[in-house]
């Protein structure tokens, strides 16, 4: 059926809506709530009845087209601005990169100029050759904690390859004198050395102070004493024949393992020590050797003065150490401080602890036996077998502490 013809008032409202949307039939039809084709027919009818000026509509369409063109132009201009902005950002980044590269080039040119200057630089002077005045010095070879009779079985110390028996002990002790003398010859390039000290500080044997040692040692205490006397005698002969010394000073100390009593004694400790007997036997055997100066201690301490420097020699067993975070240094320093109230001393040289340690005013020797079953039981830190050589300068005091390798 044909649609009813709208009234003039309805057409006027539709024309008004049509013009409002600038000739956009779709938007005008949506606002009027009608089909687009229906609105198009109404606009034709309105034109026929003179309600809608064709020229006005054409102008309106032209205006719309102009606005569309303006929008397009604006979009194009915006695109050009964005491209220009992007180009400016790229240019700025390029300029920054150029500045950075230029700075690097300048730095490299400065470095190059400095190197060229160094290449062509002529030193105005040279360090003069050092002419040593070779002041007097005395090397002190520390020999202690030999435990010549002890057996160390590596099978009983998992993870440790140390083995010890009289044959190994003999070989290691020979190296003490060989390597010690070699090191002294090296020191002669730094100082005038015409005498030395051989400090024998006890525990020449493990002895019979524990039942397990009686069971496992390779020798009886008397046999171990004779063995120590023979091997130490060979070492002293080596120093006399090969060392070119005017004098060899031999301070001694008895240890705690060398005793023939169940417990260590404060009184007459030396008289109950097989080490003390060995020293007396050695001194007797070398009684005609005028280059040897013996200082065989009958008490715990043995004081020897080298020029104006006093050194206190002792085994070290009178210092109580039962573990602790501070290690052996703390009890040693306490003991030294108290002993110095009786007899002020510059240095203390000792053994006993099997830990080569240079504490400045004291030196602790290592051991010839090395890490053993006992070391494992007390949770001691591992230390390879060694002895110690100390260089005492007449003016400067203790200037060097060196490990004497025995393996």
Specify the pLDDT at position 60: 58
Cα-flanking dihedrals φ and ψ of residue 183, to 5°?
Answer: -65, -35
Cβ within 8 Å of residue 231, ≥6 positions away = 148, 169, 170, 173, 174
Q: What is the pLDDT along the chain (407 residues), one digit of tens a residue?
A: 566 788 877 877 887 787 777 778 888 888 888 888 888 888 888 887 777 765 566 555 665 565 677 667 778 878 888 888 888 888 888 888 888 888 888 888 888 888 777 766 666 778 887 666 788 999 999 999 999 999 999 999 988 889 999 999 999 999 999 999 999 999 999 899 999 999 999 999 999 999 999 999 999 999 999 999 999 999 999 999 999 999 999 999 999 999 999 999 999 999 999 999 999 999 999 999 999 999 999 999 999 999 999 999 999 999 988 776 678 999 999 999 999 999 999 999 999 999 999 999 999 999 999 999 988 888 888 999 999 999 999 999 999 999 999 98
State the residue for tokens 């956009």.
24
Specify the pLDDT at position 10: 82
Specify the pLDDT at position 121: 65
Specify the pLDDT at position 123: 65
Contact of 255 with 314, CB cutoff 8 Å? no
Phi-psi region of 370 (alpha: psi -120 to 50; beta: other; left: phi over 0): left
**What CA–CA distance (Å, rounded) separates 282 from 276?**
10
Specify the pLDDT at position 98: 83
Specify the pLDDT at position 54: 59
Global pTM reads: 0.70
Using alpha carbons only, give the angle 286, 392, 137 rounded to the nearest 5 degrees. 75
**What CA–CA distance (Å, rounded) separates 232 from 173?**
8
Specify the pLDDT at position 17: 82
Buried b (16+ CB within 10 A) or exposed e, 139-156: bbbbbbbbbbbbbbeeee
For residue 245, give Cα distances in angstroms to 99, 100, 176, 196, 388. Answer: 74, 71, 17, 7, 19
Specify the pLDDT at position 12: 77
Specify the pLDDT at position 209: 92
């Amino acid at each position: 059926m044909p649609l009813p013809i709208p009234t003039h008032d309805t057409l006027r409202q539709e024309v008004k809506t049509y013009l409002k949307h600038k000739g956009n039939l779709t938007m005008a039809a949506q606002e009027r709530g009608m089909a687009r084709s229906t609105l198009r027919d109404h606009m034709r009818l309105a034109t026929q009845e003179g309600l809608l000026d064709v020229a006005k509509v054409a102008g309106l369409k032209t205006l719309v087209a102009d606005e569309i063109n303006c929008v397009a132009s604006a979009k194009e201009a915006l695109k050009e601005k964005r491209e220009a902005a992007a180009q400016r950002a790229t240019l700025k980044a390029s300029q920054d990169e150029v500045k950075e590269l230029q700075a690097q080039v300048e730095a490299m040119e400065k470095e190059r100029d400095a190197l060229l200057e160094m290449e062509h630089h002529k030193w105005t002077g040279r360090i003069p050759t050092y002419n040593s005045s070779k002041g007097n010095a005395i090397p002190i070879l520390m020999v202690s904690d030999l435990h010549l009779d002890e057996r160390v079985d590596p099978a009983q110390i998992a993870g440790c390859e140390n083995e010890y028996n009289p044959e190994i002990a003999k070989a290691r002790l020979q190296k003490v004198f060989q390597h010690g003398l070699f090191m002294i010859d090296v020191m002669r390039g730094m100082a005038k050395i015409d005498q030395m000290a051989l400090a024998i500080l006890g525990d020449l044997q493990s002895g019979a102070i524990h039942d397990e040692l009686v069971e496992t040692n390779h020798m009886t205490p008397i046999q171990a004493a004779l063995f120590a006397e023979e091997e130490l005698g060979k070492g002293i002969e080596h120093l006399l024949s090969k060392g070119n010394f005017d004098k060899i000073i031999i301070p001694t100390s008895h240890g705690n393992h060398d005793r023939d009593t169940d417990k260590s004694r404060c009184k007459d400790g030396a008289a109950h020590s097989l080490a003390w007997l060995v020293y007396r036997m050695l001194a007797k055997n070398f009684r005609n050797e005028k280059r040897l100066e013996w200082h065989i201690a009958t008490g715990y301490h043995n004081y020897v003065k080298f020029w104006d420097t006093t050194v206190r020699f002792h085994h070290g067993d009178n210092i109580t150490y039962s573990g602790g975070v501070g290690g052996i240094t703390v009890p040693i320093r306490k003991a030294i401080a108290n002993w110095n109230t009786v007899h002020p001393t510059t240095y203390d040289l000792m053994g006993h602890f099997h830990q080569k340690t240079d504490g400045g005013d004291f030196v602790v020797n290592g051991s010839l036996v090395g890490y053993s079953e006992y070391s494992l039981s007390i949770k001691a830190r591992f230390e390879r077998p060694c002895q110690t050589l100390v260089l005492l300068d007449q003016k400067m005091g203790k200037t060097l502490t060196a490990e004497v390798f025995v393996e």
